[in-house]
Amino acid sequence: MAVHQFQTEVNQLLQLIIHSLYSHREIFLRELVSNASDAIDKLKYLTVSDDAYKAIAFDPAIAISFDAEKGELTVSDNGVGMDEADLVENLGTIARSGTRRFMEAMAEDKRRDSNLIGRFGVGFYASYMVADEVTVTSRKAGADGAWVWKSDGKGSYELEPGQRDGHGTTIVLKMNDDGREYLNRWRLEELVKKYSNHVAYPIRLAYDEDEYDDKGKKKGSKVHKDEQVNSAQALWRRPKAELKDEDYVEFYKNIADSDDEPLLWAHTKAEGTIEYTTLFYIPSKAPFDLYHADYKPGVKLYVRRVFITDDDKELLPTYLRFVRGVVDSEDLPLNVSREILQQNRVMSSIRNASVKKILSELKSLSENDKDKYAAFVAEFNRPLKEGLYGDYANREALQELVRFKSSSVDGWTSLADYKGRMGDEQKAIYYIAGDSEDRLRKSPLLEMYRKRGVEVLICPDEIDDIVMPMVGKYGDLELKAVNRAGAEKEFEDKLDEGKAKDLAPVIERIKKALGDEVKDVRLSARLSESPSCIVVDADDPSIQLQQMMKSMGRGGDFEVKPILEVNGDHALVARLAASDDEALASDVARVLLDQALLVEGVALKDPAGFVGRINRLIAGA
Ligand code: ADP
C-alpha cells in the first residue's frame, strides 16, 4: 500500500467546499451520479469509435445501495473506470488551470452557491461534506486488475491493487453524522428524482423492505428490492407535447450544473435532408467564466444518442458561449473527430440553423416579455455586441437585439426605438463611446446635442469602440461617433464667419504653443459651456482605444495626436485674445489641452505642471 499526499490545491479546495457548500451538501449525490454517467458516456463512445473496445458489450447502469447499520452508501457504475495513474491524476490533483479561479470565485462569492461546483471538476470532493472516509475501487475497461483509492480527505490518500468484477467504478462513502440522513430509501429516491431524473442511463436503487403477510401484518422478515428510480430518457428525444416546464427546468439544472432556473429554452426537431434535435437554454445568470479565454462551452454534442463531446467551442459561435444545451444529430458519423466537425457540412448547417433559432427566440422574448428581456440584456448584451462584430450573416437580427444606454431615456433602448424618436431633420444615429457611463454622460462633446435635443447613445463597453464603427449602419442610417471630427457637421451652427476670422490669430497662437502635441487646433461649433474638447479624425482610433492599446503594451502602434477644439465664447479664450503675453498664451493653451484630456479619463503626463498653470491663471485673474 502506498500513501500519497494530495496536491496542495486539493486540500484548499476540500476546505473551501466543506465550508462554503455545507448547506447544499445533498448535491454530493448528483455529483457522483454525474461522474458515473460521464464514465459510461466515455466507454460507450470508445466502443463505437475505437476498434480496441469494440468487443466490449455492456448494459449501462448506475447502482446506488446503502447499509444503515454500517453507515455506508455505495454508488457504482460500469463505465470506463480508472487505472492507477488515472486515480492519482483525477482524484489526487486538480488538473485544470481553472481551479484556482474557482477557488477565488468561491472566496469572493457572497451567495456561496453551488453553481460553480462541477464546472471545474471539483464534484467528487463534495462527498467529504457527508462522509468521513471515501473508498474508490475502479477497474479500467480493457485492464485486468482493479485499484483501490482511499482517503479521509485530510491531506493524503492510500492507493493499492484490489479486486472488482468487470470494468467500472464503485465508490463507498463512510457517512459522518451529517451524512446519515441519506442512508434512507425515500431520501435517496427523492434526490435522484430531483437532480438526476434525466440522466440517460438507468439509476437503480437497492434497499431492503419489511415483508407483510396477506392481512397487512409485518412478518418480521425483509425482502431485497432493486428498482430503477430515474426516467433515464434522453429528454430532448421526447415529443414536446409530453414534456412539462418542470422537466425542462430539471434537465437544465442537470446539464448546466446550476441551481438557477433558465430564462428561456428552445426545443427543435428538424426533419428533412438533415435530421437532428436541439434543445437550447439561455441561463438567467451569466456563467462566471463568460469573459475568460478558457471558458467551458455549454453545448453537448450527441450522435444518435451517443455522447460525443461537451468541449467543442465550434458548436455555436463564440458570442453565444453562454447558451447551454444539447445537439443530437442523426447524420454525423459516430467517430467524428474535432477536425472533421469543423469542416463538416452537416455540422455547419446545424450550427447555422441553431444560431438563427436562438436569435429568433430572443427576438420573440424582446417583443413578448419586456421584463424578461431586460434581465437577459443585463447579463448578455455584451456578448451579443461581440456577435455584431463577428457574425456578419446575422448582423441585422443582432442589431434588433442589442440594447444601448441613451442620453434621452432611462434604462436600455433599441436602435429601432431610437429611430422612432428621431426628428425629421436628423440624418444619422449618434453615439459616444468610452470607458465609463458616468464620464460619457458628462462629456463636453454632448453639449451641442443636448442643446438641440438630439439623442446620443452612450456606449461604455470597452468593445463599443471597435464594434460601433464596424457596424457602420442601421438600415440606411449611419452610426456616427460624436467624438470624431465631422460628426457635428449636419447640426453645425454656421460658425459666425466674422468671429472665426477674429479668433484665427488666437487659434494660431494656441497651435504654436502646443507644437506637435496636437494634430490640429480648431474653433469648435459643438461646445457651449466647456472651454475645450478632444476629437479624432474620422479614421483615427479614439482616445479610449489608444488608452486600451497602451495598457496592453501596444501604445506605439496606435498613438495618434488628438485634435483640440476650442470654444470661442469661453472667458479663457477671450482672456488670451486680449493679451499678447506669450507666457500666458502657453499656460492657457496647455490648460485647454490638459483639461480636455482629463475629462476623457486620460492620466496627464505632467499633473504637477497642470496644477502650476492653473494656479498661475487663477492668481493672475
Ligand atoms: P469532474 O467530474 O467535474 O471532472 P470530479 O472531481 O468529480 O470532477 O472528478 C475528477 C475526475 O475523476 C473526472 O473528470 C473523471 O476523469 C474521474 N472520475 C470521477 N468519477 C469517476 C467514475 N465514476 N468513473 C470514472 N472516472 C471518474
% of the chain residues with pLDDT over 70: 92
- Report the separation in Å between the CA atom of 41 and the middle of ligand 1, taken as the mean of its atom positions: 12
35 CB near ligand 1 (under 6 Å)? yes
Residue nearest to ligand 1 atom 3, measured at CA = 121
Distance 470 CA to ligand 1 centre (A): 44
Q: How far is the CA of 94 from the centre of ligand 1 (A)?
A: 11
pLDDT for 1-43, tens place per residue? 899 999 888 888 888 778 777 777 888 998 899 899 989 999 9
Instruction: Assess contact for 34 and 118: CB atoms under 8 A.
Output: yes
| Mean of pLDDT values over 579-584 | 90
Cα of 124 vs centre of ligand 1, distance in Å, is 7
- For ligand 1, say whether the CB of 121 is within 6 Å of any of its atoms: yes
Per-residue pLDDT band for 96 (boundaries 50, 70, 90) equals low
Report the 10 Å Cβ neighbour count for 340. Answer: 12
Contact partners, residue 359, CB within 8 Å, separation at least 6: 394, 397, 398, 401
The verdict on the CB of residue 74 being under 6 Å from ligand 1 is: no
**pLDDT (tens digit per residue) in 423-460:** 888 889 999 998 889 999 999 989 888 888 899 999 99
Q: What is the pLDDT of residue 118?
A: 47
117 pLDDT exceeds 60? no
Q: Select from 47, 28, 45, 40 the least CA-distant residue to 76.
A: 40
- CATH code of the region 235-368: 3.30.230.80
pLDDT digits (tens, 9 = 90+) for 379-396: 999 999 999 988 999 999
Using the mean position of ligand 1's atoms as its centre, give its distance from the Cα of residue 49 in Å: 21
Q: What superfamily in CATH does domain 2-228 come from?
A: Histidine kinase-like ATPase, C-terminal domain (3.30.565.10)
Side-chain half-sphere CA neighbours of 125 within 13 A = 30
pLDDT (0 to 100) of residue 533:
93
pLDDT at 588 over 90: yes
Higher pLDDT, 259 or 139: 139
**The amino acid at 457:** L
**Rounded Cα gap, residues 445 and 530, in angstroms:** 9
90, 173, 310, best to mutate for ligand 1 pocket (most atoms within 8 Å of CB): 90
Q: Which helix (H) or strand (E) holds 222?
A: strand 218-228
Residue 98 in contact with ligand 1 by CB distance below 6 A: no
Fold of 404-492: Rossmann fold (3.40.50)
326/200 Cα distance (integer angstroms): 13
From the CB of 123, is ligand 1 less than 6 Å away?
A: yes
pLDDT, residue 102, reads 65
Collapsed DSSP state (helix, strand, coil) of residue 172: strand
600's grid cell: 476623457
Sorting pLDDT into bands at 50, 70 and 90, what band is 105? low
- Summarize the confidence of residues 478-505 as an average pLDDT: 77
Contact (CB, 8 A) for 387 and 377: no
Same fold, 235-368 and 404-492: no
Looking up cell 448547417 gives 349
pLDDT digits (tens, 9 = 90+) for 363-377: 999 999 999 999 999
The residue whose CA is least distant from atom 11 of ligand 1 is 90
> For residue 121, is pLDDT > 50?
no
The CA-atom distances, in angstroms, between 182 and each of 20, 73, 179, 338 are 20, 8, 6, 41
Determine the pLDDT at residue 543: 77
353 vs 601: CA distance, rounded Å: 43
Task: Count Cβ atoms within 10 A of the Cβ of residue 583 and give its class: 0-12 exposed, 13-18 middle, 19 or more buried.
Answer: exposed
Q: Please state the domain extents for the chain.
A: 2-228, 235-368, 404-492, 497-619
- Which atom of ligand 1 is nearest the CA belonging to 123? 7
From 20, 18, 2, select the one nearest 10 (Cα to Cα): 18
The arithmetic mean of pLDDT across residues 259-274, rounded, is 92
Q: Does residue 507 surpass a pLDDT of 90?
A: yes
94 class by beta-carbon count within 10 Å (0-12 exposed, 13-18 middle, 19+ buried): buried
Better pLDDT: 16 or 355: 355
Q: In 10 A of CB 95, how many CB atoms?
A: 10
Q: 136 CB under 6 A from ligand 1?
A: no
Residue 245: which H helix or E strand, with range? Answer: helix 245-256
Q: Which DSSP state fits 489? A: G
The residue with cell 476623457 is 600
Confidence at residue 75, expressed as pLDDT on a 0 to 100 scale: 98
The residue among 149, 146, 167 whose CA lies nearest residue 158 is 149
Q: What is the pLDDT of residue 492?
A: 63
Going by CA atoms, what residue is nearest to atom 18 of ligand 1?
A: 35
| Whole-number pLDDT of residue 167 | 97
Residue pair 264/361 in contact by the 8 Å Cβ criterion: yes
Q: What is the pLDDT of residue 538?
A: 77
Region 95-114: what's the mean pLDDT?
Answer: 59
Architecture of domain 497-619: Up-down Bundle (1.20)
Q: What pLDDT score does 603 carry? A: 87
All three cell numbers of 140: 479500467
pLDDT of residue 107: 64
CA 142 to each of CA 53, 78, 261, 485: distance values in angstroms, whole numbers, following the listed order: 7, 12, 41, 71
pTM of the full predicted structure?
Answer: 0.74
Q: Whose C-alpha lies nearest to ligand 1, atom 1? A: 121
- Give the number of the atom of ligand 1 that is nearest the alpha carbon of residue 121: 3
Per-residue pLDDT at 197: 82
The protein residue whose alpha carbon is closest to atom 23 in ligand 1 is 36
Mean pLDDT of the chain: 88
Tell me whether residue 284 is exposed, middle or buried, using C-beta atoms within 10 angstroms of its C-beta: 0 to 12, 13 to 18, 19 or more: middle
> How many angstroms does the Cα of residue 90 sit away from the middle of ligand 1?
6
The whole-number pLDDT of residue 522 equals 92
